[in-house]
């Protein structure tokens, strides 16, 4: 599994985001020097406030679709810059396409110049509304390129294609992680995805919105487990996409009921029409990850992860209420 490359100085694009900020924590804990580029379009300074002033951490408010330059040596780049919520697909479509294409191009160019390893954050959305379940890395996907979700799906598919082109043509040392549904502290309150929506509505005792009949399934991975898988991939010898996610599948209706129970909410459930191209199933085949990442698999149970996430949302919503009072 492990590579002999020493990784000490790291650039994280999108490091003020949900996953990016947790990666920064983990890399600093491992003794790395971490630099973050983030334009704060969807990232938040609150996510990295605790890191400001750390002697091995620095932050630049910067859009990575522009020219990228980092002085000195650079061992690795983790490219996590991109809006990722379904709510962003209509709100920020051009920005999503630009960071997936131009941003990835700039990152790969910097990696080539610095002879750095680059890990690209891809997504399970590359599989679209899948016709096979679970989804292995060998599945090519079932994506509507001109649908509302296409801006994100195709941006990530293009990013993967460009990453492998730089690897084959220029010899750039690359890794690709296909991230499945992930949850945990530092998610945005108004993220638009199921778990943030359900928690925000349940804690406020508002009606919980379930799209369709709620039978569509997802597999939810706690952020600590995801980060462990990403770090293992970064240090591995494996080139090519690797699924990282939780293979335990559950319906969105069951998740809504679970969050009502775990928050003690009085929220009713209301049903709305299903959004266009919404995947009916989503479940990773993690056989490859288990083989090439030293037996990696999720450790945090759904209930334990939801309890930690509940506490975060209670505090975040309380803070929001005080700010607007």
Structure-block tokens of residue 192: 């638009």
Among residues 279, 249, 250, 259, which one has the least CA distance to residue 198?
259
List, in order, residues 6 or more apart from 4 with CB less than 8 Å away: none
Strand pairing category for 9-13 and 221-222: unpaired
Alpha-carbon torsion 101, 104, 109, 112, what sign?
negative
Which element (helix H / strand E) includes 123? strand 117-123
Decide if 312 is catalytic. no
Catalytic residue, chosen from 152, 166, 238, 271, is 152
Pull the structure tokens for residue 264.
């003690």
Between the two ends of the chain, the Cα-to-Cα distance in Å is 52
Closest C-alpha among 198, 182, 168 to residue 246: 182
Q: Which residues are catalytic?
A: 152
């Amino acid at each position: 599994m492990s590579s002999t490359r020493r990784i000490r100085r790291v650039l994280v694009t999108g490091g003020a985001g949900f996953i990016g900020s947790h990666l920064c924590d983990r890399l600093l804990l491992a003794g790395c020097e971490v630099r973050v580029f983030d334009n704060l379009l969807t990232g938040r300074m609150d996510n990295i406030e605790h890191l400001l002033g750390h002697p091995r951490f620095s932050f630049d408010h910067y859009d990575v679709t522009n020219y990228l330059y980092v002085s000195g040596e650079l061992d690795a780049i983790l490219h996590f810059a991109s809006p990722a919520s379904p709510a962003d697909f209509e709100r920020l479509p051009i920005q999503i396409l630009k960071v997936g294409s131009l941003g990835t191009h700039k990152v790969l160019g910097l990696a080539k110049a610095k002879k750095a390893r680059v890990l690209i954050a891809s997504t399970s959305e590359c599989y679209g509304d899948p016709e096979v379940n679970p989804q292995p890395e060998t599945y090519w996907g079932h994506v509507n390129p001109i649908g509302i979700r296409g801006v994100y799906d195709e941006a990530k598919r293009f990013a993967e294609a460009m990453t492998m082109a730089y690897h084959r043509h220029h010899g750039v040392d690359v890794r690709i992680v296909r991230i499945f549904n992930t949850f945990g502290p530092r998610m945005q309150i108004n993220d638009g995805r199921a778990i943030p929506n359900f928690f925000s509505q349940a804690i406020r005792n508002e009606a919980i919105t379930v799209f369709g009949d709620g039978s569509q399934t997802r597999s939810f991975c706690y952020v600590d487990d995801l980060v462990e898988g990403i770090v293992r991939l970064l240090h591995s010898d494996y080139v090519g996409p690797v699924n990282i996610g939780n293979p335990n599948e559950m319906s969105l209706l069951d998740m809504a009921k679970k969050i009502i129970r775990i928050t003690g909410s009085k929220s009713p459930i209301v049903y709305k029409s299903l959004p266009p191209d919404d995947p009916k199933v989503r479940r990773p085949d993690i056989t490859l990850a288990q083989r090439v990442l030293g037996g990696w698999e999720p450790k945090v149970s759904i209930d334990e992860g939801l309890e930690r996430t509940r506490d975060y949302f209670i505090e975040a919503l309380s803070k929001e209420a005080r700010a607007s009072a």
